[in-house]
Amino acid sequence: MDRIPVAGPWLTQREAEYAADAARGDCYGQAGRYTKRFEDAFARHVGVKHAIALPHCTAGIHLSLAALGVGAGDEVIVPDVTWIASAAPISYVGATPVFADVDEATWCLTAESVAACLTQRTKAVIAVDLYGSMPDLPTIRELCEAHGLALVEDAAEAIGSRLGDRPAGAFGDTGVFSFHGSKTLSTGEGGMVVTDRDDLHERMMFLRDHGRPPGDKYFQNSEVAFKYKMSGVQAAVGLAQLERVDELVARKRDIFGWYHARLRGIDGLSLNAEPAGVHNSYWMTTVVLGGALGLTSRALMDRLDGRGVDTRPFFAPLSSIPAYRDTGEAQRAAERNATAYRLARCGVNLPSALCLNEGDVARVCEVLRNVIG
């Protein structure tokens, strides 16, 4: 029997046709036309003024922090449980990551967990919409405004999520998205940074092209900066995916619904939350094991692996991984962030690839029920 994959995209003839068209004709007078169409359509989708297509989402966080003027001596608050890409750009600009705890139900930052990490040196907050879930961003934004902090919304995993009628990615000074091959909207590798602020848009456009403004013809770079551009072929795939985004998100919600119907009511198991007012795009259906089951996430993963089911662990707290754990910030976080540490011990991402059908999910649930007895 085939293995059940944990993540993967849903590509159709439309993506292939747009990519072939870009490969044939995205040059000379037509160069950049797919990138422009993708950026414009993406900005409309998120409901913001500007979108910049990038080689990956990490570049979007890096550009955001650089454009916001975050640098040496500054601290940036980031959730302890997230992919390292949320935090690594803090180090790229010479600032210090401060790892905040997350909420038990949403797995995201709260205003309280951010407040617990504020110091005189705090310059910005990176709020992550983990696995498609959403924090209470309006309250976090108020806190940021009260303390003069910038807010970056890391919506890498959350295209299609909403809080009220506002799409994920629209709540910060900037918002960033990933189109990595595992994501709901995929260009293989790729990303987008969005903003409503003209000043940040202008600065990021300049920084992402080796310190030259768009249209510059004289190559007199006025600063040493970065090279962060998406190719036309990737943008063509992205545009095709964006035209299908409702269908992609609906499939993610179906996958979650198939799991929910089979796993709800099992004592000691909990799944992703969808608090009132939130529309969760469920990038990864994730199960958290209650202590009474006597099973760690590692043990569950190993047993599912032996039965042909691929999974991933809930993100380990950043403060626990070798890249950070010997720093003073990490040691303080390890003492403070009880929820992050508990979730990491007990959480497992279940197969959520867009190619799954209800039969695949039923098979995962049957194996899972057998494993937990």
Ligand X SMILES: Cc1ncc(COP(=O)(O)O)c(C=O)c1O
Tell the residue number behind the tokens 């390292």, with chain if given.
Answer: 84
Establish how many alpha carbons lie within 13 A of residue 88's alpha carbon, considering only the half-sphere containing its beta carbon.
9
Q: Is 86 a residue that touches ligand X (CB under 6 A)? A: yes
Q: How far is the CB of 350 from ligand X (least distance, A)?
A: 16
Within positions 9 to 38, which residues make up the interface with ligand X, using CB under 6 A? none
The one segment of 15-23, 56-64, 97-105, 196-204 that binds ligand X by CB under 6 A: 56-64
Within positions 141 to 180, which residues make up the interface with ligand X, using CB under 6 A? 154, 156-157, 178, 180
Q: How far is the CB of 216 from ligand X (least distance, A)?
A: 26
Cβ proximity to ligand X: between 15 and 157 the closer is: 157
From the number of C-beta atoms within 10 Å of its C-beta (0-12, 13-18, 19+), residue 285 rates as buried
Tell the residue number behind the tokens 């063509």, with chain if given.
Answer: 236
> Interface mask (CB under 6 A) for ligand X, residues 90-129, using x and -?
--------------------------------------x-
Cβ proximity to ligand X: between 57 and 149 the closer is: 57
Q: How far is the CB of 84 from ligand X (least distance, A)?
A: 8
Which alpha helices (DSSP H) does 103-213 contain, by range?
A: 111-115, 137-146, 198-207
Cβ contacts of residue 36 below 8 Å, gap of 6+?
none
Residues 243, 171, 232, 250: is their CA dihedral positive or negative? negative
Cβ proximity to ligand X: between 58 and 64 the closer is: 58
Q: How far is the CB of 128 from ligand X (least distance, A)?
A: 5
Options 85, 152, 287, 372; binder of ligand X; rule CB under 6 A: 85
The Cα–Cα gap between 275 and 44 comes to: 26
Is 83 in contact with 316 (CB distance < 8 Å)? no
Residue 212: count of CB within 10 angstroms of its CB: 19
Within positions 63 to 82, which residues make up the interface with ligand X, using CB under 6 A? 82
The Cα–Cα gap between 295 and 269 comes to: 11
User: What is each CA distance from 169 to 50, 88, 135, 149, 162, in whole angstroms?
Assistant: 12, 19, 12, 17, 9
Enumerate the β-bridge partners of residue 194.
Answer: 51, 175
Q: How far is the CB of 62 from ligand X (least distance, A)?
A: 9
Q: What SS3 state is found at 208?
A: coil
Q: Is 131 a residue that touches ligand X (CB under 6 A)? A: no
Cβ proximity to ligand X: between 178 and 339 the closer is: 178
Q: Is 136 a residue that touches ligand X (CB under 6 A)? A: no
Within positions 212 to 271, which residues make up the interface with ligand X, using CB under 6 A? none
The one segment of 55-63, 164-172, 202-210, 248-256 that binds ligand X by CB under 6 A: 55-63
Cβ proximity to ligand X: between 64 and 297 the closer is: 64
Q: Which residues bind ligand X (CB under 6 A)?
A: 56-58, 82-83, 85-86, 128, 154, 156-157, 178, 180, 191
